[in-house]
Amino acid sequence: MAPAATRVELWLYAKPFDADPTLRQNMDRQSDGSFSATVAIGPAIFYGYRAWGPNLGPLAGLDNLTGWPDRAQSGLGTASCPDYTSAGHAAVAILAALLHRDATGEGQVIDLSQFESTVALLGPLLALFDDTGVEHERCGNGVTFGCPRGAFPTVGDDQWIAIACSTDDQWAALCEVAHGEPFAADRTLAHESARRAAGDALTSDIASWTSRWLAFELAELLQGSGVPAGEVHDQAGVLTDPQLRARRTIRPVPSTRFGRDLITAFPPRMSGAPTDLQSTGPMLGEDNDDILGNLLGLDEDERRQLADDGVVDSPVHPEVRLRRPYVDWVRHIIPDPDWAGVDV
């Protein structure tokens, strides 16, 4: 008979297919949690590996693209691009595997390399080097298309606006908003190649103009004229952004430990299905009784034995309630009716 931890894991794998009376018998005969053992339980079951991808940004070459050409690479910092790109590839692979299961009745083992998923981001640059021998160099905020594109200073301490003119028409629209500025009247800058040739001088002229504006005011004017632009938010700016407030992207929800706690809501909104998160994540072990008892049918003695054996963790002091230090003031920045009932 398999160890207790492996049996619980296999029971959870097989739960969606437990109408098959042979599954529980098969589970009790397996001695490990391998893919072959899992398939022996039921061939339509999906099997997953745990993965850890440390330092995939530098390994895949992403960090070498960050920063300014005359300095060492700045790195991606806390933005873990490999996590997000691998998740996208994994989602597509899972959908494909589900289609395969529906068509054949067979499950899949998905072998997904986070390294390969990250390298896939560099396809055009790798093709360029393979074809021409030219290696893409770091270019700060610049890109190889569109001009001007970057962050420009505005009124206030460390306040900025991001502007991205990808076409000559967008440049013309920017010049309409900047009517009266010398660069806006310079017809020789009508084409992107000329603006690129102007280089730092043009960037300096635009920065001199934007520095006399409040970021949100100029962003609204440019957006209204068809120029991609936006205020560069700090944390307070994110919390007070009108769109995020209107969609309640950052809002309080019930929390076992805190009463109410802030979450970042699920971004997509779907017309035919609820996407709202109704609570924060559970405490460690909070759902043991629901999963092990209601879902798997284990009685109280069996559940207690699993906890005593260290197979599952039990909640630590579940009666203790904590309080976030920001509760005193954040409700004034994020007014929301769901703060009701939280002590000030």
Q: How many Å separate Cα 65 from the centre of its chain?
A: 21
**Residue-range domains of the chain with CATH:** 4-132 (3.40.50.10540), 149-232 (3.30.1540.10), 243-339 (no CATH)
- The answer to whether 42 and 18 have CB atoms below 8 angstroms apart is no
pLDDT by residue for the chain (344 residues), tens only, comes to 346 666 666 666 656 545 444 444 444 444 454 545 555 445 555 555 554 545 788 888 888 888 888 888 887 766 678 888 888 999 999 999 999 999 998 888 888 888 898 899 898 899 989 999 988 888 887 777 889 999 999 999 999 999 999 999 999 999 999 999 999 999 999 999 999 999 889 999 999 999 999 999 999 999 999 999 999 998 888 888 888 888 888 888 888 988 888 888 888 888 988 888 888 989 989 999 998 888 888 899 988 888 888 888 888 888 888 888 887 788 777 877 777 655 54
Q: What spatial distance separates the first Cα and last Cα of the chain, rounded to whole Å?
A: 54
| Cβ neighbours of 133 (radius 10 Å) | 7
Residue 30 backbone phi and psi in degrees, to 5? -80, 145
Residue 227 CA to its chain's centroid (Å): 26
Q: What single-letter DSSP state applies at residue 287?
A: T
Q: Which two tokens stand for residue 210?
A: 């934007």
